[in-house]
Amino acid sequence: MDYQAHQQRLQSKEVEGGRITYVDEGIGPVILLIHGIPTSSWLYRHIIPLLADQGYRVIAPDLLGFGGSDKPKGYEVYSEGRQGARIRQLMEHLGIDQWLQVCHDGGGLWTWEMLKQGSSGVVGLVILNTIIYEAGFQPPLRFEQGMWAKFYTWLYRARLTCGLMISATLKNGLSRATRLREQDKEGYWRPMPSGVNRALYYFFTQTCQALPDDYKTLLPSLPFPSRVIWGLQDPMLKWTPQSEQISRDLKLRADDILLLENAAHFIQEENPAEIGAFIAAFAQEVYNN
């Protein structure tokens, strides 16, 4: 699938702050796939059909500021709390009252904030190389607010440089054995000139400065089961420094965790079949209980 074909299957809904686009495919119990930064629903293009073929309805939104969604001016509009509220608004607009939530990278922060506002509707959670605790969070860049940060994130928007910036991001987040086709890369850089830099500016200058401590009390209180899938070669989100705390807080057994030794950060590009099968097996478990 090329990015043009992906765009054609996107639907849209109005939420607080603007219009967000999303993929909605399949029939059955719902699985919600939340991307991270600086990606979009394109990240899950290989996994969506795998889950739909297993009998699930798959929703994969582009959060505000990413992919085909609106990218309004300003920065606070992209706060974790507001993004989390938009996830729930989308599900309400779609009339969905039960779903299994999957999150990756910064999508974890939006998920945590959504759950702080209320956990109703969520029947299970799957974490894919997600931002959780400071112990494992090693972002490549942390900027103070100002002109340098605005210039750096503008490079993701400028047509002459956005492809180079995305290529560097993908190279840093993939194992050495993985090589993406230009068609695959296009789906990541194509939305950039429309204003993704605003959401990136918020992330690099605010989110990356410090993570909230209250996630340490939130995670143990979640009333549904969780699973973890993690690429161990990830240079930005390390599993080992936080593995014990995550396992303890989410009450995970050894077989609740899928560790991908030869994958890095963008594991959806490297192990889609294995990830899809693991999510589908967990979905069957939670929906059949």
Task: Give domain status of residue 42, yes or no.
Answer: yes
Task: Give domain status of residue 146, yes or no.
Answer: no
113: left (phi over 0), alpha (psi -120 to 50) or beta: alpha
Task: Give domain status of residue 171, yes or no.
Answer: no
Q: What is the CATH number of the domain that holds 281?
A: 3.40.50.1820
Provide the residue range defining the domain that includes 23.
3-138+212-288
Q: Which amino acid is at 94?
A: L
Residue 210 pLDDT? 84
Task: Give domain status of residue 40, yes or no.
Answer: yes
pTM over 0.95: yes
Task: Give domain status of residue 156, yes or no.
Answer: no
The 10 Å Cβ neighbour count of residue 176 is: 9
Task: Give domain status of residue 225, yes or no.
Answer: yes
Cα–Cα distances (Å) from 24 to 40, 102, 269, in that order, read 14, 15, 20
* Number of domains within the chain: 1
Q: Which residues contact 99 (CB under 8 A, 6 or more apart)?
A: 29, 30, 31, 32, 59, 91, 121, 122, 123
Task: Give domain status of residue 122, yes or no.
Answer: yes
Map 181-250 to HEC letters.
Answer: CHHHHHHHHCCHHHCCHHHHHHHHHCHHHCCCCCHHHHHHHCCCCEEEEEECCCCCECCHHHHHHHHHHC
What are the tens digits of pLDDT across the range 111-125? Answer: 999 999 999 999 999
pLDDT by 10-residue block (mean), the chain, 289 residues: 94 97 98 98 98 98 98 96 97 97 97 96 98 92 91 95 96 94 96 96 92 90 97 97 97 98 97 98 95
Q: Are 39 and 105 in contact (CB under 8 A)?
A: yes
Task: Give domain status of residue 180, yes or no.
Answer: no
